[in-house]
A = this chain, B = another copy of it.
Amino acid sequence: MAQKPSIPKGTRDFSAQEVNKRHYIINTIKNQFTKFGFQPIETPSFENYDTLMGKYGEEGDRLIFKILNSGDFLKKVNPNDIKSENTLAITPKIAEKALRYDLTVPFARYVVQHQNELDFPFKRYQIQPVWRADRPQKGRFREFFQCDADVVGSQSLWQEVEFVQLYDAVFTQLKLEGVQIKINNRKILSGFAEIIGQSDKLIDFTVALDKLDKIGEEAVIEEMKAKGITAQAIDTIQPIFNLKGDFSEQIASLRGILAASKSGLEGLQELEFIQQAIEAMPLKTARLTLDVTLARGLNYYTGAIFEIAAPPQVKMGSIGGGGRYDDLTGIFGLKNMSGVGISFGLDRIYLVLEELKLFPKTADAQTQVIFINFGHQEALYAMQAIRLLRDKGVAAELYPDEAKMKKQMNYANKRAIPFVVLAGSKEMQKEQFTLKNMMTGEQNDVNLQELKKMLQA
């Protein structure tokens, strides 16, 4: 019996229109990555089990897709583990490969493995799919693309400056105005925890603080108290809930608050460097804002933290993010490699551009003209013209069958092909073509030269 076709949950088929629009975004990002000096690398879709496991926390380990060994996959398993159905012990024996969970760990592995071929600082970009066995839900997929740019091997803050410019350049080119580039620094968050004398509570503190936007000051304070942060400590830090003024003014306020924290002041100095550079080289359409509640990726970021918010008229989570991590490659044995990188959220950017109708018409590159098929001699006449049109860069087709005229015109219509050429024996005798504009209905009798000219435009 024939199978009813379907795809695994959390995965997607992309139609031509969707692929074209996705590539429009990807090509824009690539174009800017290249102008900023990033070079593409690609890594395999699956890595050794050990390369990925233990890098994303317990939750992450569970969400990694493992690939079943080929052949007699049970042969390496301890019979007792089979008997007791000990899946945790069995998994690494029967699945020695796993699908990429993100692009950062494979990148770290790549840098260490190829360190002798690379020139540092090494600037790379990578645009490839990743896979996560997450519960699928609206906007969350089991296969999705990540678009990352990272630099390793330099601690220079000019890189943070460049990433701010890079975000601005990409969103400007996409005509997505009003994007907010939020920046924070891990050292400032550490400073806060220091100041309140509860450095051991850094994670609890920042996790609560991160929710300020969503749940408000009171609820954040409640949560902090619940986590054992004293009322006195919260009082000390209270001013950060209501920082006023522009970037520089907020820095000034924070300098007071963090006066006693060496780490905090260092974080402020870094932010100031970035802010002043951007002031000297204003952004085109995006806005750089300080957000001390930003705690994204606290587990690995050690310096700057970035998060990109879509323009306020669109309801959407972050459409990008990144930061600096001081020890990217340590897990693979190469110490003291500072890295900094950013990521673009392709799926969400797609939704934003769709909602704001920002995809240009040309994003959906498609066939410009189709020739009606009136029979063998006419088809050959058409094909000769099509051949010359293609040489001139025009996407052109012949309807392959000598079907009823109405069927052929319907096909052109449904596919939204803008021009149709009708060339029957009458036109052939005069070496002409009837060109019909499907939008306006206008028809013109033209020769080959004119046809080329009209379609190339």
Binding site for B on A (CB under 8 A): 2-8, 11-16, 19-20, 23, 34-37, 39-48, 50-51, 62-63, 65-68, 70-74, 82, 85, 87, 90-91, 94-97, 99, 109-110, 112-114, 117, 119, 121, 123-124, 129, 131, 133, 143, 151, 154-156, 158-159, 161-162, 165, 169, 277, 280-281, 330-333, 365-367, 370, 373, 379-380, 383-384, 387, 390, 393-398, 400-401, 411, 414-415
Contact check: which of B19, B82, B117, B400 meets A42 at CB < 8 Å? B19
A400 surroundings in chain B (CB, below 8 A): 121, 151, 154, 156, 158-159
Q: Are B394 and A35 in contact (CB under 8 A)?
A: yes
Contacts A87-B73, A277-B383 known; A15 to B35 CB distance under 8 Å? no
Contacts A117-B15, A401-B156 known; A39 to B366 CB distance under 8 Å? yes
What are 14 A-B pairs at a CB distance below 8 A?
Answer: A3-B332, A3-B333, A4-B333, A7-B47, A13-B44, A16-B39, A44-B143, A45-B45, A67-B67, A67-B68, A119-B414, A121-B401, A156-B401, A158-B400
Give Cα A182–Cα B329 distance, bound, in whole angstroms. Answer: 50
Q: How many copies of the polypeptide does the oligomer hold?
A: 2
Minimum C-beta distance from A268 to chain B (A): 17
Write the chain B residue with the least CB distance to A393: B35
Q: Are B414 and A48 in contact (CB under 8 A)?
A: no
Write the chain B residue with the least CB distance to A127: B19
Q: Are B87 and A281 in contact (CB under 8 A)?
A: no
For the complex with contacts A5-B110, A36-B397, 6 further pairs of A-B residues with Cβ separation under 8 Å are: A2-B333, A13-B43, A16-B41, A45-B45, A65-B68, A154-B400
